[in-house]
Amino acid sequence: MSTRAQVRFATREEGVSFSEHPEVIHAQFYKHHDGYPEGLGVDIAESLLNYQKITNWEIESLDAYHSDLEYIYYVWQAPGKSTWISIFEVRPWPVRPNHEEDKCIFVGEPSNLIDKYKLNTNAYG
Protein backbone atom coordinates (compact mmCIF):
# COMPACT_ATOMS: atom_id res chain seq x y z
CA MET A 1 0.00 0.00 0.00
CA SER A 2 1.28 3.46 -0.87
CA THR A 3 1.43 6.46 1.43
CA ARG A 4 0.67 9.35 -0.89
CA ALA A 5 1.66 12.93 -0.17
CA GLN A 6 1.94 16.38 -1.68
CA VAL A 7 4.75 18.81 -0.96
CA ARG A 8 3.85 22.45 -1.38
CA PHE A 9 6.05 25.53 -1.20
CA ALA A 10 4.74 28.70 0.40
CA THR A 11 6.23 32.08 1.32
CA ARG A 12 6.70 33.01 4.96
CA GLU A 13 4.61 36.12 5.57
CA GLU A 14 3.51 38.10 8.59
CA GLY A 15 0.12 36.97 9.84
CA VAL A 16 0.15 33.59 8.03
CA SER A 17 0.06 30.66 10.45
CA PHE A 18 2.27 27.63 9.85
CA SER A 19 -0.46 25.42 11.36
CA GLU A 20 -3.07 26.31 8.74
CA HIS A 21 -3.15 25.66 5.00
CA PRO A 22 -2.00 28.84 3.22
CA GLU A 23 -4.13 30.46 0.55
CA VAL A 24 -1.20 30.78 -1.87
CA ILE A 25 1.43 28.21 -2.83
CA HIS A 26 4.19 28.60 -5.42
CA ALA A 27 5.01 25.00 -6.38
CA GLN A 28 3.56 21.59 -5.73
CA PHE A 29 4.99 18.08 -6.00
CA TYR A 30 3.41 14.64 -5.61
CA LYS A 31 4.99 11.60 -3.95
CA HIS A 32 3.21 8.30 -4.62
CA HIS A 33 4.80 6.26 -1.83
CA ASP A 34 6.71 6.66 1.46
CA GLY A 35 4.98 9.99 2.13
CA TYR A 36 4.86 9.48 5.91
CA PRO A 37 6.87 11.83 8.18
CA GLU A 38 9.53 9.21 9.01
CA GLY A 39 10.22 8.86 5.26
CA LEU A 40 9.42 11.90 3.16
CA GLY A 41 9.41 14.32 6.09
CA VAL A 42 12.94 13.34 7.10
CA ASP A 43 14.06 13.40 3.43
CA ILE A 44 12.79 16.99 3.06
CA ALA A 45 14.47 18.11 6.29
CA GLU A 46 17.79 16.45 5.43
CA SER A 47 17.68 17.92 1.93
CA LEU A 48 17.20 21.41 3.35
CA LEU A 49 19.98 20.98 5.91
CA ASN A 50 22.50 18.96 3.89
CA TYR A 51 21.58 19.71 0.26
CA GLN A 52 20.72 16.04 -0.36
CA LYS A 53 18.74 15.14 -3.48
CA ILE A 54 15.21 13.78 -3.14
CA THR A 55 14.02 11.32 -5.78
CA ASN A 56 10.68 10.13 -7.13
CA TRP A 57 8.78 13.42 -6.92
CA GLU A 58 6.41 14.46 -9.67
CA ILE A 59 5.91 18.18 -10.29
CA GLU A 60 2.23 19.11 -10.51
CA SER A 61 0.15 22.06 -11.53
CA LEU A 62 -0.93 24.24 -8.63
CA ASP A 63 -4.52 23.14 -9.21
CA ALA A 64 -3.88 19.37 -9.01
CA TYR A 65 -6.13 17.65 -6.49
CA HIS A 66 -5.87 14.09 -5.15
CA SER A 67 -8.63 12.39 -3.20
CA ASP A 68 -6.30 9.74 -1.76
CA LEU A 69 -3.58 11.80 -0.03
CA GLU A 70 -2.48 10.91 3.47
CA TYR A 71 -0.13 13.85 4.11
CA ILE A 72 0.41 17.39 2.86
CA TYR A 73 3.71 19.11 3.59
CA TYR A 74 4.42 22.82 3.39
CA VAL A 75 7.92 24.21 3.08
CA TRP A 76 7.80 27.83 4.24
CA GLN A 77 10.61 30.06 2.97
CA ALA A 78 11.51 33.74 2.61
CA PRO A 79 14.84 35.49 2.03
CA GLY A 80 16.66 36.18 5.29
CA LYS A 81 14.37 33.93 7.36
CA SER A 82 14.78 30.35 8.51
CA THR A 83 12.88 27.63 6.67
CA TRP A 84 9.99 25.96 8.46
CA ILE A 85 7.99 22.83 7.63
CA SER A 86 4.37 22.00 8.39
CA ILE A 87 2.87 18.52 8.09
CA PHE A 88 -0.86 17.92 7.82
CA GLU A 89 -2.48 14.53 8.16
CA VAL A 90 -5.26 14.46 5.60
CA ARG A 91 -8.59 13.24 6.91
CA PRO A 92 -10.05 10.12 5.28
CA TRP A 93 -12.59 10.20 2.51
CA PRO A 94 -14.50 12.28 1.75
CA VAL A 95 -11.64 14.74 1.53
CA ARG A 96 -12.78 18.34 1.38
CA PRO A 97 -11.04 20.49 -1.27
CA ASN A 98 -10.38 23.24 1.29
CA HIS A 99 -8.95 20.75 3.84
CA GLU A 100 -10.97 22.07 6.78
CA GLU A 101 -10.77 18.71 8.57
CA ASP A 102 -7.03 18.06 8.14
CA LYS A 103 -4.93 17.84 11.30
CA CYS A 104 -1.64 19.71 11.63
CA ILE A 105 0.73 17.18 13.24
CA PHE A 106 4.03 19.09 13.00
CA VAL A 107 5.32 22.65 12.72
CA GLY A 108 9.00 23.45 13.07
CA GLU A 109 12.41 23.85 11.55
CA PRO A 110 14.04 20.97 9.65
CA SER A 111 16.24 19.96 12.60
CA ASN A 112 13.15 19.67 14.83
CA LEU A 113 11.50 17.40 12.27
CA ILE A 114 14.55 15.13 12.20
CA ASP A 115 14.63 15.02 16.03
CA LYS A 116 10.97 14.00 16.12
CA TYR A 117 10.68 11.61 13.19
CA LYS A 118 14.04 10.11 12.22
CA LEU A 119 14.06 6.49 13.23
CA ASN A 120 16.80 5.34 15.58
CA THR A 121 18.85 2.79 13.66
CA ASN A 122 21.74 2.24 16.03
CA ALA A 123 22.72 -1.13 17.56
CA TYR A 124 20.10 -0.68 20.30
CA GLY A 125 17.14 -0.33 17.99
pLDDT tens track for 6-21: 999 999 999 999 999 9
Residue spans of beta strands (DSSP E) within 1-125: 5-11, 27-31, 58-60, 71-77, 84-89, 103-108
Residues 68-88 have pLDDT tens digits of 899 999 999 999 999 999 999
Output the pTM of the full model.
0.89
